[in-house]
A and B are shown apart, each in its own frame.
Chain A
Amino acid sequence: AQSVTQLDSHVSVSEGTPVLLRCNYSSSYSPSLFWYVQHPNKGLQLLLKYTSAATLVKGINGFEAEFKKSETSFHLTKPSAHMSDAAEYFCVVRGYSSASKIIFGSGTRLSIRP
């Protein structure tokens, strides 16, 4: 069985400071992991993905995430927040087999203070 837990429902940071959005997963097999972003009234956009290659994954807009198997974590980070980063972020897990369901985390709303 698979599951994903986003540890914070809301994160607020000041512009120019680092961002950390936390995600823990559970999967019986080697999972594929994704981070998506959703801006208000918009669809979901893929930020980055992990599919068993390099454990440090770089995505768009300066975001990156590190896959840590020992901690079953896939936290999303960015060195310096920008006002345009304010959005909802979703961590997603999917197992290796084609029969594996796609599981979304509950989402983390990121707010950026000027």
Chain B
Amino acid sequence: KAGVTQTPRYLIKTRGQQVTLSCSPISGHRSVSWYQQTPGQGLQFLFEYFSETQRNKGNFPGRFSGRQFSNSRSEMNVSTLELGDSALYLCASSQDSNTEAFFGQGTRLTVV
């Protein structure tokens, strides 16, 4: 059974640009959640999607958005990138809310 796949693994962008990250969940999992990990702030919850609907949202500005497709694959978009957006972005999938989440390897975004 394939695990959670995140693409790309590494990304370098310039301030002001936008970026789209992709996450393919484990087959059969309907919940996909996104996290930002930085040395200073630790792991912070961005949002969760379940059956194409955003179910939960963390405390991030509107520049951070996401969506989920009918096949449960999810994308996260960050517009007008800032230097502070440099981080490891992790995606996790689960069957539902209270079941364990399985994490991908992450996408390391560097904004220069």
Q: Chain A: residues with CB nearer than 8 A to chain B?
A: 32, 34, 36, 42-46, 49, 51, 90, 94, 96-104, 106-107
Q: Chain B: residues with CB nearer than 8 A to chain A?
A: 4, 33, 35, 42-45, 48, 50, 55-56, 58, 90, 92, 96-98, 100-106
B43: A residues at CB distance < 8 A: 90, 104, 107
A107: B residues at CB distance < 8 A: 42-43
B100: A residues at CB distance < 8 A: 34, 46, 49
Q: Is the CB of A42 within 8 A of B105?
A: yes
State the main secondary structure of chain B at its contact with A. Answer: strand
Task: State in angstroms the CA–CA spacing of A42 and B105 once bound together.
Answer: 6
A90-B43, A104-B43 in contact; A32/B98 too (CB < 8 A)? Answer: yes
A96-B98, A98-B55 in contact; A103/B45 too (CB < 8 A)? Answer: yes
Task: State in angstroms the CA–CA spacing of A49 and B2 once bound together.
Answer: 22
